[in-house]
Amino acid sequence: MISTARLLIRRFQEQDAPALHAYLSDPTIYRFEPGEPITLEEAREMAFDRSLGSDFWAVALKDTDQLVGHLYFAQTMPKDLLTWELGYIFNPAFQGQGFATEASTALIRFGFEHWDIHRVVAHCNPENIASWRVMEKIGMQREGHFRQNIFFQRDADGNPIWLDTYEYAILKED
């Protein structure tokens, strides 16, 4: 568990399912993310699966342990490059309060101090201004703008709806 001034960054627990459902059932979450709104049963399965893994971290309010969002933090391949990828999704009711910045900063710092990490990368849609502002606030540098390199949805004819991506990174020495 990682503690900050306002947050706990911890492993998921099965009882996080209702709070996870509260934001992952919201269609607005998927404007810049793959997937589609989930059911409460899917949230229960997801919370259980995440409680067993190490790639997803629950972000909860320190005072109440209420889940407000989550972080993704996993090593990329090939492993000998010592690179990890950061991602985050927060409940819209808790956005705009600096929680993503606070949690991401703490997890990256913890990773650099305790794991063999050389570099952390993160990606976002250029239209997702809030996301790339978080990346810049935590000290990441924009390294690239990749044009039409990914898609999450298809049009009515089955054609990919291509999206651009910004790539950010921070090095341990930064």
The tens digit of pLDDT for each residue in 112-152 reads 999 999 999 999 999 999 999 999 999 999 999 999 999 99
For the segment 59-76, the average pLDDT, to the nearest whole number, is 97
Relative to beta strand 119-124, strand 83-90 is parallel
What does pLDDT average to over the chain? Answer: 97
Q: How many CB atoms lie within 10 A of CB 99?
A: 22
Per the DSSP assignment, residues forming a β-bridge with 134 are: none
Q: What is the dihedral of CA 62, 49, 154, 149, to 10 degrees?
A: 70
pLDDT of the residue at 90 = 98
- Top-level class of domain 2-122: alpha beta
**Element (DSSP H or E) covering residue 166:** strand 160-171
Closest by CA to 25, choosing from 49, 42, 48, is: 42
Instruction: List pLDDT tens digits, range 38-54.
Output: 999 999 999 999 999 99
Beta carbons of 101 and 138 less than 8 angstroms apart: yes
Q: Is the pTM of this model over 0.85?
A: yes
pLDDT of the residue at 145 = 98
